[in-house]
């Protein structure tokens, strides 16, 4: 036979400590997002040139590896160029650039194995 409980169970809801520390009132500002999208659209004519500039930097990082050898410094430079292209490809709506640069990043992702 189980002993009888002297008091019923009490449920205490947890406090939201993060909200208390950060404060409330934060949310997504739709107007700010719309303005950012409009600004991006206005700059879209320059995307091709900017992307080409980044590809030139990637080519230089590859040339540095050929000239100086595969060192932690040259590998890191190649990784950061690929990482930048991965993000910019998405921003500039070049998904193939994102996929290729992302694959290169994956190959170089672990700094210990570079």
Q: What is the pLDDT of residues 33-84, one digit of tens each?
A: 999 999 988 888 898 899 899 999 999 999 999 999 999 999 999 999 999 9
| Count: domains in the chain | 1
Q: Rounded to two decimals, what is the model's pTM?
A: 0.64
Domain annotation covers residue 13: no
More confident residue, 18 or 70: 70
Structure tokens at 31: 């107007």
Domain annotation covers residue 17: no
pLDDT of 4 over the 80 cut: no
Structure tokens at 50: 């900017």
Structure tokens at 77: 């430079």
The model's confidence at residue 17, banded by pLDDT at 50, 70 and 90, is confident
At CB < 8 A and 24+ separation, what contacts does 98-104 make?
A: 101/58, 104/78, 104/79
Domain annotation covers residue 100: yes
Instruction: Note the pLDDT of residue 30.
Output: 87
Domain annotation covers residue 28: no
Mean pLDDT in residue range 21-29: 70
* Domain assignment of residue 84, given as a range: 44-113
**DSSP3 helix / strand / coil % (the chain, rounded to 5):** 70, 0, 30
Cα separation of 34 and 49, whole Å? 24
């Amino acid at each position: 036979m189980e002993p009888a409980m002297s008091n019923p169970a009490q449920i205490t809801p947890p406090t939201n400590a993060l909200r208390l520390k950060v404060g409330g009132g934060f949310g997504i500002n739709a107007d700010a997002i719309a303005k950012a999208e409009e600004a991006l659209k206005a700059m879209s004519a320059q995307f091709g040139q900017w992307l080409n500039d980044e590809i030139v930097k990637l080519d230089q990082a590859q040339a540095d590896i050929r000239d100086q050898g595969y060192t932690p410094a040259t590998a890191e430079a190649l990784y950061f160029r690929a990482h930048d292209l991965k993000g910019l490809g998405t921003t500039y709506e070049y998904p193939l650039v994102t996929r290729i640069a992302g694959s290169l990043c994956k190959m170089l992702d672990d700094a210990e194995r570079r």
